[in-house]
Amino acid sequence: EKWDKRSIEILTLKRKLLKRGIEWKPLVFRKGRIHSLYRLLIGAACINFFHFKRKIDLVHLRGGLSGLIYLISLRKNKYIYDIRAFWGQLADGGRTTYDSFTYKLLLKIEEILINNASGIVVLDQSGKEFIRKSYNFKKPLEVIPTSTDISRYKIKRKSNSSKINIVYLGGAGFPPYKIKDA
């Protein structure tokens, strides 16, 4: 096996987590439909393996893909659904269309995940309001904002410069916003 920097980092993190009683099984990411299907099935198999290996009281599903993997596993444990983006945003960003089978299927999966969650975490107040209104969700629903509060920082400008450079850490591909170069 080829040991590159990334492999060593993953192994180091796995060891640190294991010392704290956390078993972590990273799923390999490769592009392509076959690889995506493989990742879903391997993920579901891993969930079932961990389920039979030890008693699981609560599952944390961070995002729709992990939710889909969990549904495929056919487990019925309580879970917290941590919504990073709504799947309806795929059509908003042009990655699918509103009338496509894929879009309708993803919305149905999202509805199942939301309605069966023991609790939900969203990133902003509008997501909380959307869930309360659209799904009549009565269980715990919390907002954990992840953006920086720039009111806490002073912006220092270089003399005679009207530009502000911004660093964005995260994927602009999902949610699939149409970001144009400024």
Question: 93 and 102 in contact (C-beta within 8 Å)?
Answer: no
Indicate if the pLDDT at residue 141 is higher than 80.
yes
Percent with pLDDT over 70 in the chain: 79
In 3D space, the residue among 41, 15, 13 whose CA is nearest the CA of residue 28 turns out to be: 41
Q: Tell me the CB-side half-sphere exposure of residue 79, using CA atoms within 13 A.
A: 26
Residue matched to tokens 């599903």: 61
Indicate if the pLDDT at residue 173 is higher than 60.
no
> What mean pLDDT value characterizes the chain?
80
Q: Which residues lie closer than 8 Å to 112 by C-beta, 6 or more apart? A: 71
Most confident of 3-17, 19-33, 80-94, 130-144: 130-144
In 3D space, the residue among 102, 100, 110, 104 whose CA is nearest the CA of residue 131 turns out to be: 110
Tell me which amino acid residue 158 is.
Answer: K
Question: 175 and 85 in contact (C-beta within 8 Å)?
Answer: yes
Rounded Cα distance, 19 and 80, in Å: 24
4-18 mean pLDDT: 82
Q: What's the predicted TM-score (pTM) here?
A: 0.71
pLDDT in tens, 19-49: 988 877 777 777 877 888 888 899 899 889 8
pLDDT in tens, 56-75: 888 889 888 889 999 999 99
167-176 mean pLDDT: 49
Least confident of 103-117, 134-148, 152-166: 152-166
Indicate if the pLDDT at residue 174 is higher than 50.
no
Indicate if the pLDDT at residue 182 is higher than 50.
no
The pLDDT, as a whole number, for residue 139 is 93
